[in-house]
Structure 1
Amino acid sequence: MNNPQPALSNDQLISVLAQGKNAVAIHTTDKFNIRYASNAMLSIWGKGPDVVGLPLAEALPELEGQPFLGLFKRVWDEGITVSGKDTPADLLIDDELQTFYFDFEYRAMTDDAGKTYCILHTATDVTERFLSRQREQALQEEMRAANEELFSANEELNAANEELVQSKEVLQVTNDALNDSETRFRNLVKQAPIGICIIRAHDLMIEDVNDSYLELVGRTRSEMQNRTIWEAVYEAAEVYAPIMNQVINTGVTFKAREAEVMLVRQGVDQRFFLDFVYEPIIYKGRVDSILVLVIDVTDKVMARRSIEEMEERARLAIEAAETGTFDLDLVKGVMLTSPRLDTIFGFQHSVSWEEYAAVIHPDDQSARTMAHQQALKTGKLFYEARVSFPDKSMHWVRIQGQVYYNDNKKPVRILGTVLDITQFKQLQQQKDDFISIASHELKTPITSLKASLQLLERMKDNPSPQVLPRLIEQSSRSMQKISALVDDLLNVSRANESQLALNKAEFNIFQLLENCCNHVRVVGKYNLVVKGDANLKVYADEHAIDQVVVNLVNNAIKYAPDSLEIQLSVEKENDMIRVSVKDSGPGIAPEKIPHLFERYYQGNADGYKNSGLGLGLYICSEIVKKHGGQIGVRSEWGEGSTFFFTLPAAE
């Protein structure tokens, strides 16, 4: 039995979340006590881990007068989710009240009754993005203003041309204003904190580009000058050239968020995620240029995906281990469960804590109660119990958990796992039964041997010609019984360790059937009838196959003692030889057939009591499997049984 891969513990999961870049906090009670806060959230608040456990208003007193405490109360009372984007918040960082901007979400986590038991608080500091957007907007306004100035200057220039004869000084002033305006515009582009590229509409030539854009696309200024945009950034042309053409033709702005783009930087393909805008610049009713604004958001996207991937791995690990999980609120008596836990307890869906406890076997209820009482003292919950399914079947479960306490050292919560150990318990029972059977089976011949040896010891000086042979024969039978039992144990041990050595050779299987089982033929009670093709040969270990046939014949005599004729047949099936042993006994109950070749299983027929370790058919199965064959049985209750196996035919 393969052991499942160990699942991540809750502490490990929390530790992983704490190291993530996303800010996460969990609040409980109507005071919004901070039950958990990731490192990223503590960094946003400018606080240390000592705030965990404090009410939110006490941990961040600067929130007084801001809308957030009111939003928390609404989420708690109404069991809803509230979120916001680019929301300003004043936080006390390094003893200085500073304004930051956040994307946030307050999500109420409710129980089956719809009552809130905690609030999941996530936040992303978007201050830099917000301020960048403001600067971008201001830049656009300035650029539009510059365009208007240019337009105004052109108008003035036209008027000046018309009045050139009258006023050369006016023309000079206008030209100077135009130059100053263009210079300011170029400086704005160059100093902007985001990537900017200006592209001429009619031929797509690059008119201007700033350093941020050059850094993003991995080009030098000389590689961008006097080139079209798709000559300079050729790797993006296939996807984005049609989009830019559409902007030029329609004059409609195109915006993209987290667009995946492959760029060649220093000869290496690199994947980026970009927020960008194709903004058409209109002049005299037509698109004159395209303003490209780009922000690299690769780090943000990859961080988010990394967290999503870790969450998925954790979920898959739990599912692969087939482990159920639960979260028990000791204060409210409410337990949240995973679907796998419901299945382990025999339910189709989640039920109340009391209903889960009710299906525990009555004889195990006291152990469960004691385990819970001990857990409240030690912090660790562990016990094993039987669970009764609706179909009255009994299953074993192993329950483990970790107790969590509040600030007053009072236990308030248990997080734990449940594992179905029914198969393990069945194997344990099989082992115990086998030890009991083996002890009993060995005790009988040893006792008989001991008695014979004691009698021989008494008559060693005056042996009786009548009694001595019987004692020797009885001792020999006891030794044969002990030897057979030990051989069975050795064979099953070798089979388990894959050390069952085979000496394969070509031999006539029909002749083996005619010559085997002399111990049965000599007695004369049972008639062994051999049928089939007398010329069939197999490639196998003759001694091991003889052992299989003897075991099957012994089995027929043991469980069908009134079947005085036992038929042994051999026939060819494709590249295999099929050997069958048939009796006309009482047959085998259908429910026992699937277990006949299991180790230690004894399929006693009703009305018969037989000894043995339950290893004979198991050993036969292992020998046949190691030859590459198959073993099986056909039987109908009251109609006899036919055991059969296949072996590779000799070439």
Structure 2
Amino acid sequence: MSEPSYSLSNEQLLNVLALYQNGIAIHVGEDSVIEYANDSMIAIWGKDKSVIGKSLEDALPELKGQPFIDLFRKVWNEGITISGTDTPADLIVDGALQTYYFDFEYRAIKNNEGKTYCILHTATDVSARYLSQQREQNLAEEVSAINEELSASNEELIATNEELIESQHQQQKLYHELVEGDARFRSMVRQAPVGMCIIRADDLLIQEVNNAYLALVGKERAEFEHQTIWEAVPEAAASYAPVMNNVITTGVPFVAKEHYLTLVRNGQPEDVYIDFVYEPVKLYDGSVTAIMVLGIDVTEKVIARLNIEEAEERGRLAVEAAEIGTFDLNLKKRVMITSDRFNAIFGFNGPVKWETFASVIHPDDNTARLLAHDEAYKTGKLFYEARVIHPDESIHWIRVQGKVFFDADNKPERILGTLLDITQVHRLNQQKDDFISIASHELKTPITSLKASLQLLDRVKDNPTSPLFNKLIDQSNRSMQKISSLVEDLLNVNRTNESQLRLKKTTFNVNDMLESCCNDIRTVDKYKLIIQGDKEAKMHADEHAIDQVMVNLVNNAVKYAPDSLEIFLIVEKLDNFVKISVKDNGPGIPQDKIARLFDRYYQAENSGFQNAGLGLGLYISAEIIKRHGGKIGVDSELGGGSTFWFTVPVAE
């Protein structure tokens, strides 16, 4: 008798999936909205059930900048399967961002028509396996490296042993001659005024050491008797054993000046500087039988010199970092020694006479300079600010400070001082004053207009049907819009200065953006915005920021080409960029103005071209495009109209 067929309900199927030990989840839509995730997947993500119903980007914001969200989108759009093994992913688990490794699969589940209706997402945390493999691999590499080092060390030891054996044979031949001169040599060592230590070459056994050497290394004589040199001074072995071996091998002396090392003197480590020599003592056949070490402690001398050099270097770096010029003026000989920076600030390529420096002081400031010197001869302090005229006729501001030194008769003899170029400070102060003046003027006009409109409205408030009522409201709105525009320019330029211009990039159709931008211009019904070019082009950018750029450029065309009633918005595809141009048929722009059009506060600096606003619109537009990785510019000629353009990367 056959069993009746039985179909599992959706809830039963989900309960079965929940028992699956590895992570499994079901996502829907291009944004990978999480429709289902079993407990294992929730644990892998380090989240809770609240992620159900959220997009993957909202549920796991730490995935931004990682490839997984784009991979989900690709699987959904292309109906494919993507999998990976030992794939790293940075996830926030227990409040900490950590790197985990997974075997995963994103599989598109399609209906009968072949359209993807969900993505089956499986994942297995293989971090322990992956890290274990890495540790095993690293351990294998370390073992291999150690084996190679051991092999090399064995070869060196073999070579050294062979040399020692050969040296011993030669030593036996000359033994009798060495015995005869040994007494005289030992006596010379003991009486030497510098530290001396004689070391046998074949086994590095200490043969003789004088008291000066014992004092140098801070040891007792008993610590040197019947010891090798590195047994007696083990702290120096790592650095100098190879050097001594090389002297024994080559027979070439080693001379060290102010070598830094740490010696254990009287049981305490001390950092010292030593002048020493490893001098090979040779037999008649040139073989090295011993090493004579001569050493002098020069620690105090070196520390004193280093302190002086450090102080000088700190002073030099401070002066260079501040771009300060320095001078030494001998008032009696009328000779001045100057630094390169001092000469450059005055506009000279090299040192010149004191009188030459004084001759380039601006005539209007020379009296103040002379008065400052007269005051300095009384107080000992020199200070003044003045303008200097460079050979190219450019004007630069300088600040001079100095100290006067007097001779035994209390007469001024010498001035040591510094020179600072403060041209930029004066220029910025002037820009600030100009900007405040322009901002005040530009805000005053719409505020005055708004005030007048409100006063008139107050008079007719009891008669809202008056024709004047609607007209005054329109005037008030226009004044308020002007004030808002000026304030927005100020806020935008402040954001760009403080690197607060955050971009929220999306992919959008350029033509759609152009159709919806510049509504304030369209509503006037005077100017016609004509869109031309590639209507299918897309770009990956901050749509609001690009809209702002378009508004600035179109407003710029309306302002400076008011008779050009047709403004063309042209879209072009150039390799990996989209180029948007705003073209008018106005009077054009002089060539000498074009280079500075995108400078901040350009109007404040040059009213010859621009004559309204704060001069920030084009500057802000340039900053926005630069942060998108694009370029901005203008093509224009007098009488031929102007074309402002910019490029932005295409959609990814």
TM-score normalised by structure 2 residue count: 0.61
Q: Distance in 1 between matches of 2:370 and 2:242?
A: 69
The 5 Å alignment of 1:318-397 reads 318-397=319-398
Pair 554,291 (structure 1): closer, same or farther in 2 beyond 3 Å: closer
Q: Which residue of 1 aligns with 2:571?
A: 570
Could you say which residue in structure 2 is the equivalent of 1:414? Answer: 415
Q: Which amino acid aligns with 1:531?
A: Q
Partner of 2:98: none
* Structure-1 residue corresponding to 2:314: 313
Question: Cα distance, 1:580 vs. partner?
Answer: 2.4
Matching of residue 537 in structure 1 with residue 541 in structure 2:
no
Greater Cα offset, 546-555 or 636-645: 636-645
Corresponding residue number in structure 2 for 1:643: 644
Instruction: Tell me if the contact between 1:596 and 1:603 (Cα under 8 Å) persists in the aligned partners.
Output: no
Moved more, 317-326 or 227-236: 227-236
Looking at structure 1, the residues matched to 637 and 439 of structure 2 have their Cα atoms a distance apart, in angstroms, of 29
1:387 Cα offset (Å): 1.5
**Residue deviations 1:525-549, cap 9 Å, x none?**
4332212332333444433322221
Check 1:590–1:306 CA distance in 2 against 1; reply closer, same or farther (3 A cut).
farther
Q: Is the 8 A contact 1:569 1:580 kept in 2?
A: yes
1:649 offset after TM fit, Å?
4.0
Q: Which moved more, 1:225-234 or 1:332-341?
A: 225-234
1:210 is matched with 210
CA change 1:214–1:367 in 2 (3 A) is: same
The alpha-carbon deviation at position 359 of structure 1 amounts to 1.2
Q: Structure 1 residue 616: deviation in Å?
A: 1.0
CA contact (8 A) 1:274 1:298 kept: no
Tell me, yes or no, if the aligned pair for 2:195 and 2:294 is still in contact at 8 Å.
yes
What is the alpha-carbon distance in structure 2 between the residues aligned to residue 268 and residue 532 of structure 1?
Answer: 80
Matched-pair contact (CA < 8 Å) for 2:248–2:288? no
Q: Return the offset for 1:313.
A: 3.4
- Cα contact 2:331–2:415 (8 A) shared by 1: yes
Q: What's 1:559 paired with?
A: 560
Query: Cα distance, 1:323 vs. partner?
Result: 0.9
Aligned twin of 2:620: 619
Q: Which runs of 5+ in 2 are unaligned?
A: 1-176
Match of 2:518 in 1: 517
Instruction: Name the CA distance, whole Å, in 2 between partners of 1:202 and 1:502.
Output: 74
Residue 433 of structure 1 is matched in structure 2 by 434
Q: Contact 1:388–1:394 (CA<8 Å) still a contact in 2?
A: yes
The Cα shift of 1:427 comes to 1.7
CA drift at 1:555 = 0.7
The structural deviation recorded for 1:488 is 1.9
Range 378-387 or range 347-356, more displaced: 378-387
- Give CA-to-partner distance per residue, 1:119-172, whole Å, 9 cap, x none: xxxxxxxxxxxxxxxxxxxxxxxxxxxxxxxx9x98xxxxxxxxxxxxxxxxxx
Q: Which amino acid aligns with 2:630?
A: Q
Give the drift of 1:188: 7.0
Following the alignment from structure 1 to structure 2, what is the Cα–Cα distance between the partners of residues 362 and 261? 58
2: distance between equivalents of 1:611 and 1:245?
A: 85
Contact 1:448 1:475 in 2 (8 A): yes
SS at match of 2:569: strand
- CA 1:203 to 1:618, structure 2 compared with 1: closer, same or farther past 3 Å? closer
Superposed displacement of residue 223, structure 1: 6.3
Check the 8 A contact 1:402/1:416 in 2, yes or no: yes
Structure 1 residue 589, shift from structure 2 partner: 3.8
Mapped to 1, the partners of 2:262 and 2:623 lie a distance apart of 61
Q: Which runs of 5+ in 1 are unaligned?
A: 1-150, 155-177, 249-253
- Residue type of the partner of 1:435? I
Verify the 8 A CA contact 2:443 2:483 in the aligned structure 1: yes
Deviation by residue 1:153-202 (Cα, 9 ceiling, x = unmatched):
98xxxxxxxxxxxxxxxxxxxxxxx9xx96x9867755755322345689
CA distance in structure 1 between the aligned counterparts of 2:257 and 2:319, rounded to whole angstroms: 32
Q: Structure 1 residues 499 and 205, CA, compared in 2 at 3 Å: closer, same or farther?
A: closer
CA deviation digits over 1:256-288, x for unaligned, max 9? 4627486875899977532447486999x9999
Contact 1:273 1:301 in 2 (8 A): no
What does residue 298 of structure 2 align with?
297
1:203–1:475 Cα change, 3 Å: closer
Cα distance in structure 1, aligned partners of 2:604 and 2:562: 15
C-alpha RMSD of matched pairs (Å) = 4.3
Deviation at 1:449, TM superposition (A): 2.9
Considering Cα pairs closer than 8 Å and 6+ residues apart, tell me whether 1 or 2 has the greater RCO.
Answer: 1
State the identity as a percent: 57
CA distance in structure 2 between the aligned counterparts of 1:620 and 1:365, rounded to whole angstroms: 45
CA distance in 1, matches of 2:499, 2:607: 35
Counterpart residue type for residue 437 of structure 1: I
Q: Closer, same or farther in 2 for the Cα pair 1:271/1:588, shift >3 Å?
A: farther
Structure 1 position 422, deviation (Å): 1.7
Q: Any idea what SS the aligned residue of 1:598 has?
A: coil
Corresponding residue for residue 95 of structure 1: none
Q: 1:581, 1:642 within 8 Å by CA — same for their partners in 2?
A: yes
Is 1:634 matched with 2:634?
A: yes
Superposition deviation, residue 347 in structure 1 = 0.7
Residue 354 of structure 1, CA deviation? 2.0
Tell me, yes or no, if the aligned pair for 2:632 and 2:647 is still in contact at 8 Å: no
**How far apart in 1 are the matches of 2:247 and 2:311?**
35
Q: Measure, in 2, the Cα distance between the counterparts of 1:370 and 1:460.
A: 67
Q: Which SS does the other structure have where 2:603 is aligned?
A: coil
Per the normalisation by structure 1, the TM-score is 0.61
Could you tell me which residue of structure 1 aligns to residue 113 of structure 2?
none
In 1, Cα distance between equivalents of 2:261 and 2:495? 60
Q: 2-side partners of 1:440 and 1:429: how far apart? A: 16
- Offset, 1:398: 1.8
Aligned equivalents of 1:287, 1:543: Cα separation in 2: 83
- 2:243 is matched with 239
Equivalence map 1:98-113=2 (5 Å): none
Match of 2:212, as an amino acid?
Answer: S
Task: Find the aligned partners of 1:423 and 1:604 in 2 and give their Cα distance.
Answer: 14
Q: Which residue is equivalent to 2:257?
A: 258
Q: Judging changes above 3 Å, is the alpha-carbon distance between structure 1 residues 244 and 504 closer, same or farther for their aligned structure 2 residues?
A: closer
Query: Aligned partners of 1:287 and 1:612: how far apart in 2?
Result: 89
Question: Does the aligned pair in 1 maintain the 2:603–2:610 contact within 8 Å?
Answer: no
Q: State the distance in 1 between where 2:502 and 2:562 align.
A: 33
C-alpha separation between the residues in 1 aligned to 2:534 and 2:406? 78
Change (3 A) 1:630 1:409: farther
**Which AA in structure 2 matches 1:634?**
V
Q: Alignment partner of 1:349: what SS? A: coil
**TM-aligned CA distance change 1:417 to 1:605, over 3 Å:** closer
Per the TM alignment, residue 505 of structure 1 is displaced from its structure 2 partner at its CA by: 4.3
The alpha-carbon distance between structure 1 residues 571 and 604, as it changes in their structure 2 partners (threshold 3 A), is farther
- Asked if the contact 2:601/2:614 (under 8 Å) is kept, the reply is yes
Q: Distance in 2 between matches of 1:207 and 1:573?
A: 84
**1:367 CA drift (Å):** 2.7
Deviation at 1:341, TM superposition (A): 0.6
* Structure-2 change in CA distance of 1:461 and 1:228 (3 Å): closer
Paired amino acid for 1:616: G
Structure 2 equivalent of residue 405 of structure 1: 406
How many residues align? The count is 469
Q: Give the drift of 1:393.
A: 1.3
Structure 1 SS opposite 2:402: strand
Matched ranges for 1:51-66 at <5 A: none
Counterpart CA distance in 1 for 2:384 and 2:263 is 59
**Amino acid corresponding to residue 593 of structure 1 in structure 2:** I
CA distance in 1, matches of 2:502, 2:254: 73
Q: Cα offset for 1:460?
A: 5.2
Task: Name 2:598's counterpart in structure 1.
Answer: 597
Cα deviations by residue, 1:502-555 (Å, 9 ceiling, x for unpaired) = 555443221111222233334444332212332333444433322221110111
